[in-house]
Amino acid sequence: MLRVISANLNGIRSANNKGFFEWMAEQKPDFVCVQELKAQEANLSEAMMAPAPCKGYFHYAEKKGYSGVGIYTPHEPESVVVGLGVPEIDAEGRYIELVYPKLSVVSVYLPSGSSGDHRQTAKYHFMEHFFAHLADLIARGREVVICGDWNIAHTEADIKNWKGNLKNSGFLPEERAWLTRVLDELQWVDVYRKLHPEATGEGYTWWSNRGQAWAKNVGWRIDYHLASCALAETARQAAIYKDQRFSDHAPLTIDYDFSL
């Protein structure tokens, strides 16, 4: 069994103070893909860099207190791929991949366009390059799982107030159509949706800090595991952990009947 967790931390130091790493240790994970570190290497303690028995691998943003992704695992990879090879994207610390003989594990953090038109343009730029990368990954014929905050709610079932968000970043028709192409044309599988085809409110992974979004479960499902078809077929169970709040996102755990 392979246990893979995706968690947007909205600041690794904040999540650490809220008990994330104690919870993580209890899960006995094989991989924990984290996003939005909001830190550089100098900001991390040894316990945050390598929480036993895991070791962390990171792609930091150049801008301090911004973005950044990582993967924790007790399994030493054959190689580590940092970034997509596009300088303006890689400066924001959005992609890391651990490579094993039979599997690649990716942590990704797509941009949010909610702060203005310039960031929505940057999001579309990322999506264009990432689509080509996703096509290349799937064409290699290896098993891959890509975990992360995609900043897109795919369908009306993935967002509470879909009518009120049709013109907002994260639920724009162009974004949703892009994700449909990723799934239908490239044959990636949305693993949580495969396991829970009818799930609505219980599938949310992010709640705005504004108003009473958490209390009223006015959420979005924007954190995904996207997997190659054969790996997705081995998925056995998925869980979204809401008993503690480490950030404005909830960790998504999926168990796969797969061995490295």
**Domain 2-256: top CATH class:** alpha beta
Backbone φ and ψ of 18, nearest 5°: -95, 5
Per-residue model confidence as pLDDT tens digits over 225-249: 999 999 999 999 999 999 999 999 9
Per-residue model confidence as pLDDT tens digits over 79-104: 999 999 999 999 999 999 999 999 99
Residues marked active site are found at 109, 149, 249
**Token output for 41:** 């290497």
Residues recorded for the chain: 260
Query: Percent of the chain beyond pLDDT 90?
Result: 97
Binding residues for Mg(2+): 8, 36, 149, 151, 248-249
Domain boundaries, the chain: 2-256
Does 153 have pLDDT greater than 90? yes
> Which pLDDT belongs to residue 211?
86
Q: Are 9 and 248 in contact (CB under 8 A)?
A: no
The C-alpha atoms of residue 188 and residue 178 are separated, in whole angstroms, by 12
pLDDT, mean of residues 34-42: 97
SS3 for the chain, per residue? CEEEEEEECCCHHHHHHCCHHHHHHHHCCCEEEEECCCCCHHHCCHHHHCCCCCEEEEECCCCCCCCCEEEEECCCCCEEEECCCCHHHHCCCCEEEEECCCEEEEEEECCCCCCCHHHHHHHHHHHHHHHHHHHHHHHCCCEEEEEEECCCCCCHHHECCCHHHCCCCCCCHHHHHHHHHHHHCCCCEEHHHHHCCCCCHHHCCEECCCCCCCCCCCEECCEEEEECHHHHHCEEEEEECCCCCCCCECCEEEEECCCC
> Which pLDDT belongs to residue 234?
98
The C-alpha atoms of residue 260 and residue 101 are separated, in whole angstroms, by 8
* Stated pTM of the model: 0.97
Does 149 have pLDDT greater than 90? yes
